[in-house]
Amino acid sequence: MQIQETEDNKCSLCWNEVEGFGYDPKPLTSGICCDLCNEELVIPHRIMISAQRGDQLKLFEM
């Protein structure tokens, strides 16, 4: 199965053209987002949510 770019390659957050396949903008919105919105909005929001829940990255469990 091949992954194809969608015909509507607009960022769901800023409405600019998305290059390539884009990123998943959840939990902010649905659809796809551009590199800039992913880096400046989506990732920081996910980190904030994780910190509020007290999630910790567990790299090693013994």
pTM of the model: 0.74
Predicted confidence at residue 61, as pLDDT, reads 53
Give domain limits for the chain. 8-53
Token digits of residue 14: 């800023």
For 3-61, write each residue's pLDDT tens digit.
444 457 999 999 999 999 999 999 999 999 999 999 999 999 998 988 887 766 555 55
CA dihedral 47, 53, 54, 57 (to 10 degrees): -50
